[in-house]
Structures are given as C-alpha cells and as structure tokens.
Chains A and B, each alone.
Chain A
Amino acid sequence: MTRIVLWLLGGALLGGIIHILVILTLPLLAEETTWSRVSAFEAKNQMLILPQVEAGEPNPLRLDPELVYGLCQVDLADGPAYLHGLLPDAFWSLALFNEAGAVIYSTTNRDGIGQTVELGIFNAAQTRLLAQQQLDIAEGLLVVEAPSDRLFVLVRLSPPHEAMRKRFAERLAAISCGPRP
C-alpha cells in the first residue's frame, strides 16, 4: 500500500516539474509572437494606424474597437528614436514594447504632458552619452532608457465620438517617429 502511494506521489511530483518546465519554456517555443504579428505591418520608423476592429472579423491583437492605435517600430542600433508631434485634446496613452512583447515603459497624457508627444528612446550606451552631454536633445524631451535595441511604440488615442475617428487617426498618423534625420 505504501509503495502504491509513493508511486502516485512520485507521479504528482513529476507532474509539478513538467508544469514548471512548460510554463518557463512556452514563451521561447511560441512561433507567432507579438513581435512577429507587429512586424507584419510595415511600421518601421513611421506611425502606422492599425486597421479598425470590425464586428465578426478576427482581432488577433485584441484591440479595443473604441480606440485608434498608432504603431511604430524602431531599432536603437540606428541611433536614438524620437517621437514628436501634437495629439488632439482627448485621452491618449503610450506604451513601449520590447521584442519579447513586454511593456517596458508606459504613460498617459494625464501625467502632465497634455497634448504634446515629445519622447526620446535611448539604449544604455546612448543614455551614457546623454549624461555626458554628448547628445543634443530638445528641452522638455521625455527621456526613456530601454534595455534592448529592437522595440515598438504603441500609441492609443481615444476619440470621444465615432464621428471624430477619421480626424483623430490623421492627427495620430502625423506624429513623427524614428531616428533624427
């Protein structure tokens, strides 16, 4: 009897180990990741408006139908990335994703920045140059240090009414994104 219980316990223990292995290796095994889905859009160094969610249509990125989304992919190996522009007076938020699909930085327009988008993204080496004052940046630039080079920025803009969507999308698309020319 004890032997049977020991065998069963051994099975459960092995199950626990399998569980931990599955959880830890799953992100490494995934073939379709947020990064691969985002790379399918051609949004390198430009603010691309994501297609609107339609009823009955697949929505793999799980977008909120009420919002307008602007996507921009940057590579800090080409130099620091800058976002510059003015958004309409409505709620907007900004998230910086790394290649693994985690949000490494996020903010909203209620954090005292209002309508102005002035953001500089720097990697560790570029931040050091910034500290040594060897990089010129505009005053009031929001400085974000990123641990890796390949990133994408997602700006969510919320038009208060459906009628404003087109105008809001145009304003969002006008935001400049990418290394300084």
Chain B
Amino acid sequence: MRFVLLLLTAIAIALATGFGLSYYALTDGRLFGAAQIGPWISWPDLGSAAPNPYSRGHLAREAMLQLGRAEGLQFVATMDSAGEPLDLACSYRLDGHVPVSSFWTLSAVDRQGVNLAAPGADLALRSSEVVRNNDGSMSVHVGKALSPGNWLELAGTGPFSLQLTLYDTTAFSGFSSDNDTMPAITRGDCA
C-alpha cells in the first residue's frame, strides 16, 4: 500500500514539474530563453538561424513571423514596473528611454494578439510621432482615459500586454553599457 502511494506521488510530482516547467518556460520564459529589462521581456534568440530549444519551442507555439537578428527586437510587457498585471481598467504611463534603434512602434494587444486600439485611433504609436521631454526621454500615456501628450488610446476590458518593437536596434548587442534601458511602466488611476 505504501509503495503504491509513494509511486503515485512520485508520478504526480514528475508530471507536475515536467509539464508545468515546460509551460512556464515557453510562455513567461524568464529563467530560460527570454531576457528581461524591468517589466519588458524579449526573446533575443528568436531571430537567429538556429534558435535555442526554448526559443524554438516558443516559436512553435506562436507560429508567428518573428524579426530576424539584423531587423530588430520585440519587447513585451504584461506587468507594470511594480509587478501588477496590466489591465484595461487602469491607465498607465511609460517613462524613460529605449535602446538605440532606427525607429520603434508601441501597440497594445490581448492574450490572443488582437490589437486593442480604440475605434478610429491609430493602431500603434510610432517613435516619430512621439513628443519628447527636454532631456530626450519620453512620456507616453496608455489606456482608455483621455490623456494629455502622447497617448495610445485603447478600448475593451481585461488584461492586456504592451508590445514595443525596436527596428534595427543595438539592444543586447553589447556595444554600449547603458544602452539596454527600457521605459518604466507606472500605473495611474483605475476606473
């Protein structure tokens, strides 16, 4: 009886760690194939000719057209800088700098990758449209509530994620020590 119980426990642990770890590694992936700067996560190996097994698994799950190494990098944030999940009920502010790039775009999507821009609003915010502060940093408002300055206007309810895509970037290239910086995401008022 004791033997059977121990065997079942061991099998349960094996299944839970095996599949749980795999699911985590391919979705969040921070300890595996993904790199993190603040709340932003990127998979730097996705665009290489021979991605590592975790990046390959991530690609197989998403089946998307990823950027090649020379083309750029995409960062995704599902949480704000305080670690709270991004929710459409709240408004957010992005402050800071991005790594050197030719240009970048910022858009908001839900879990299925559906764009959440408000009807009639731009689907994404582009770096050339952003008004910057005197020190060259940027402040971008994201959310449904009417906001001044740079505003990515959204619609809908529930959790969302932000995608910041840098084209032709030097991020993670190791050329400059203070280059790998991403804007902080601060939560504002919630409805």
CA distance A101 to B67 in the complex (A): 11
Which one, A32, A55, A61, A102, contacts B117 given CB within 8 A? A55
Question: Looking at A37, A108, A111, which has the most chain B CB atoms within 10 Å of its CB?
Answer: A108
- Cβ A103 vs Cβ B49 within 8 A: yes
Which one, A3, A61, A96, A111, contacts B65 given CB within 8 A? A61
- Cβ A12 vs Cβ B103 within 8 A: no
- A18 within 8 Å of B (CB atoms): yes
- B30 within 8 Å of A (CB atoms): no
State how many angstroms separate the Cβ of A94 from the closest Cβ of chain B. Answer: 8
Interface size on A, residues (CB 8 A): 64
Q: Which residues of B contact A97 (CB under 8 A)?
A: 65
Q: Chain B interface: which of A123-131, A132-140, A154-162, A168-176?
A: A154-162
State how many angstroms separate the Cβ of B111 from the closest Cβ of chain A. Answer: 12
- A14 within 8 Å of B (CB atoms): yes
Q: Which residues of A contact B47 (CB under 8 A)?
A: 95, 103, 106
CA distance A69 to B64 in the complex (A): 13
Nearest A residue to B102 via CB reads A91
CA distance A19 to B25 in the complex (A): 9
State how many angstroms separate the Cβ of B42 from the closest Cβ of chain A. Answer: 14
Q: Which residues of A contact B115 (CB under 8 A)?
A: 53-57, 59, 65
In the complex, per-residue mask of A1-37: 1 if CB is within 8 Å of any chain B CB, else 0: 0011001101111111111011110110010111011
- Cβ A26 vs Cβ B10 within 8 A: no
- B116 within 8 Å of A (CB atoms): yes
CA distance A107 to B31 in the complex (A): 29
- Cβ B18 vs Cβ A16 within 8 A: yes
| CB-CB under 8 A for A14 and B18, given A59-B115, A102-B59 | yes
CA distance A11 to B15 in the complex (A): 8
State how many angstroms separate the Cβ of A70 from the closest Cβ of chain B. Answer: 12
In the complex, per-residue mask of B1-21: 1 if CB is within 8 Å of any chain A CB, else 0: 000001101111111111101
- Cβ B9 vs Cβ A7 within 8 A: yes
CA distance A53 to B130 in the complex (A): 21
Within 8 A of A (CB), among B102-117: 102-103, 105, 107, 109, 112-117
CA distance A60 to B10 in the complex (A): 39
Which one, A10, A91, A154, contacts B10 given CB within 8 A? A10
**27 A-B contacts, Cβ less than 8 Å apart?**
A7-B6, A8-B9, A8-B13, A11-B17, A15-B16, A16-B21, A18-B14, A18-B22, A19-B19, A22-B22, A23-B54, A26-B61, A27-B57, A27-B60, A30-B63, A55-B117, A57-B114, A59-B113, A60-B113, A62-B65, A65-B107, A93-B167, A102-B48, A102-B49, A103-B69, A107-B68, A162-B122
